[in-house]
Structure 1
Amino acid sequence: MIAETVCSAVSAAGLGIAVVTAYRKRFLAAARIAAYSLVPVGLVMTGIVGWLADTAFSPTAWAGFGVLGAAWLLFAGTRAVERRRTGAGSGRKAARQSGPDTMAPGASAPSLGQAPRPAARPAAPRSGAPAEDFSDIEAILKKHGI
């Protein structure tokens, strides 16, 4: 009974805030607030709030949650033991530990996570006049179709 009253009060307050928001000409936000504020009344009308209140104060329900928790712990524990028995020779852990020795012979450097090394550029000849090497600029222009 008190849960239904609280939900109704929350919905009424939310609708009041939605009216004030609409008065300030923020209609999209007002509609969103109204939608959120109608959810508690909808839950009360469907009976979910009453069911939740009965469940929260039921010792049988809490015992059921305890049994579900114990089942989950058993399931998680057996999975952990099973993983430990299979050993470290399988799965992602083995792939991380093995390193580059197990790579395919034709694998490229980027697939291994290593940065490619830039090609060494020959040193420009230093003479009295500056060398007019526009190959970089030509490559950029060709790349952009100019």
Structure 2
Amino acid sequence: YALDGDSQGLAGLNKSWKLYRGHKAQTHTLASIFLIEKKQLKKAEREDTIKIAKKEASSLLRVRHPGVLAVVEPLTEDENILAFVTERVEGTMAQLIKNNKMAEYLNSELELKLYLYPFLETISFIHDTLKQAHLAISP
């Protein structure tokens, strides 16, 4: 996989993953690449952050639901990085809210409700069916 430009932002618990747009080199299939540069992590927190990141990536791989990000290539690790590849995403919800991008797409309260419904349905699935908590959601 090849990266298409700079990082789009941060994702995951503690915002440890850098999110990149990318593509599969042979087929040019669009994808998103989640990457952690180990040397960029604070030394005191490195081991715990890597442990949590591995758990996040493996959790995504096990879940099959239309509202959950689909993993295309599982976690790979070497001495410098952790990375995995998913279906293409345009950014994180935090980025949409922070950059006020949602206002461009949502013109009414009804549109906002329709936009958020699949998200809330997915969170309900994670909590009620999988008995897990999505720890990267906060006000």
- Scaled to the shorter chain, the TM-score interval is under 0.3
Structure with bigger strand share is 2
Q: Which protein has greater RCO, CA pairs closer than 8 Å, 6+ apart?
A: 2
Structure with bigger helix share is 1
- TM-score when normalising by structure 1: 0.19
